[in-house]
Amino acid sequence: MQAEIIVIGDEILIGQTLDTNSQLIATELNKRGIQVHQKRVIADERKPILEALEQVHPDTHLVFLTGGLGPTRDDITKQTLTEFFGGTLAHHPEVEAQVRALFAGFKRTPTEANLQQAYVPSSCTVLPNKRGTAPGMRFKKDGRYYFSTPGVPYETEYLVKEEIMPWIDQLPGARGLFHKTFLTQGYPESILARKLEDWENQLPASVTLAYLPSPGQVRLRLSGHSHSTEAAQQLVHAQEEKLRKLLGPIIFGTDDDTLPEVVGRLLVEHSATLSTAESCTGGYLAHQITSVPGSSRYFQGSIISYSNAIKQGHLQVSAADLATYGAVSQPVVEQMARAARQNMGTDYALASSGVAGPGGGSAQKPVGYTWLALAGPEGVSSVVFHFGQHRQRNILRSSLMALDMLRRHLEGYPLPQSSA
């Protein structure tokens, strides 16, 4: 079963708004083994909408349109859908009642434009929208189903999850697609490809591998294709053990995991606490940690020691070592980690000190040169890395690598090797 997504909105075409609706729709379809083979973003105008509908691929079973259902004059999607599917714009009393009830909850009176949302194509099945004024719509034409949702993300999320997907789940037809994504940290795509080359060449034709790189991390998506989702899932699982054996500690999680979440779970499992002492990361490491709900169970705090004075005064870093080795050095970053652990009374502490850039580098310590340290009950360990020339990526990669050092330690793996 195949699907297409048509995103309607001038605000998306000009870069004013980020399209998250298609991501949500694709994610929900993927869970059901339904493949999205095309997505288009078009203007909220009659001609592009009609052209997109007329150009749907013959093999497509499900078409999702999102956007263009507002109460203002620039939203003409309903009129255009009426033209394409036939019928007239007809009044639906239950939709008007829902709009009035929604406004009553806000202690407001709906305008005439709001009440116009109760007029929908007579050729559609109305999908109640409990999050807004514009109802969703379902059409059928030439054996194909079409779904239309508003552009407001939380309204589309409600309609997709509560109205559309439960209905699709009742449709007959094999869904023979299954994905599983393996998340890796610290190795670029090219090195991973070399490690996996022989295994990848021996994959059966029914299993494919995709590399999805981002700064510091690469997602490896295994996809199985078969006569059913269950059979496709078995194909992927048959390859999972081989992949894990090849990559070992490089894999930190799967699918929707994030490194901060994985580290948080490990700290809870070990009943351990954490603090940070940051220089080049400027608090971003602590931000990553505290982005996880419930992180107060294990995270105590951070000292952002951006200046040498703060390193000396609050982290007891030796003035002699700062003068001899510089702030970006092994002795300094280890003292930072040790002091953070002691001062905040935590089981573990992470510290960072590096040349984030774009200036400040030298021949001995170029931009991207970064020391990271982990202090724990067993002592202090440190690793030096050379991340690159881009400041924001250096900060991100430093934070992720520091977390990975702790993750590896808690899972019983060696720390990552130096890249400098």
- Asked if pLDDT for residue 237 goes beyond 70, the answer is yes
> 137 has which bridge partners?
126, 148
Please give the pLDDT value at position 30: 85
Categorise residue 60: left if φ over 0, alpha if ψ from -120 to 50, beta otherwise: beta
State the chain's mean pLDDT as an integer.
Answer: 95
Rg (the chain; Cα; Å): 27
- pLDDT band (50, 70, 90) for residue 175: low
Statement: residue 14 has pLDDT above 60: yes
| pLDDT above 60 (res 114) | yes
What is the β-pairing status of strands 379-386 and 369-376?
Answer: antiparallel
Tell me, what's the pLDDT at 347? 98
Domains within the chain, CATH numbers bracketed: 2-168 (3.40.980.10), 177-254 (3.30.70.2860), 259-411 (3.90.950.20)
Q: What is the 3-state secondary structure (H, E, C) of the chain?
A: CEEEEEEECHHHHCCCCCCCHHHHHHHHHHHCCCEEEEEEEECCCHHHHHHHHHCCCCCCCEEEEECCCCCCCCCCHHHHHHHHHCCCEEECHHHHHHHHHHHHHCCCCCCHHHHHHHEEECCCEEECCCCCCCCEEEEEECCEEEEEECCCHHHHHHHHHHHHHHHHCCCCCCCCEEEEEEEEECCCHHHHHHHHHHHHHCCCCCEEEEEEEECCEEEEEEEEECCCHHHHHHHHHHHHHHHHHHHHHHEEEECCCCHHHHHHHHHHHCCCCEEEEECCCCCHHHHHHHCCCCHHHCEEEEEECCCHHHHHHHHCCCHHHHHHHCCCCHHHHHHHHHHHHHHHCCCEEEEEEECCCCCCCCCCCCCCEEEEEEEECCEEEEEEEECCCCHHHHHHHHHHHHHHHHHHHHHCCCCCCCCC
Beta bridge partners of 304: 278
pLDDT in tens, 314-328: 999 999 999 999 999
pLDDT band at 113 (very low <50, low <70, confident <90, very high): confident
Tell whether the model's pLDDT for residue 74 goes beyond 70.
no
Cα gap 420→418, rounded to integer Å: 6
Per the listing, tokens 């989702």 go with 229
Q: pLDDT by residue (tens digit) across 360-413?
A: 999 999 999 999 999 999 999 999 999 999 999 999 999 999 999 999 999 999
Instruction: Give the per-residue pLDDT at 32.
Output: 85
| Dihedral, 359, 362, 363, 366 alpha carbons, nearest 10 | -50
- pLDDT number for residue 88: 96
Q: Kindly report the length of the chain.
A: 420
Percent of the chain with pLDDT over 90: 88
84-88 long-range contacts, Cβ below 8 Å, gap at least 24? Answer: 84/49, 84/50, 84/53, 84/141, 85/121, 85/123, 85/124, 85/139, 85/141, 85/146, 86/123, 87/121, 87/122, 87/123, 87/124, 88/121, 88/122
Select the more confidently predicted residue: 382 or 35.
382
% the chain with pLDDT above 70: 98
Model confidence at 153, pLDDT cuts 50, 70, 90, reads: very high
* The pLDDT of residue 73: 65
In the block, residue with structure tokens 């005439």: 112
Give pLDDT, residue 230: 87
The pLDDT tens digits for 331-364 are 999 999 999 999 999 999 999 999 999 999 999 9
Per-residue pLDDT at 169 exceeds 90: no
109: phi then psi, degrees, rounded to nearest 5: -105, 130
Half-sphere exposure of 223 (CA within 13 A, CB side): 15
Q: Stretch 156-165: mean pLDDT, rounded?
A: 96
Question: At 170, is the pLDDT very low, low, confident or very high (cuts 50, 70, 90)?
Answer: confident
Q: What is the pLDDT of residue 399?
A: 98
For residue 332, the model assigns a pLDDT of 98
pLDDT band at 174, cuts 50/70/90?
Answer: low
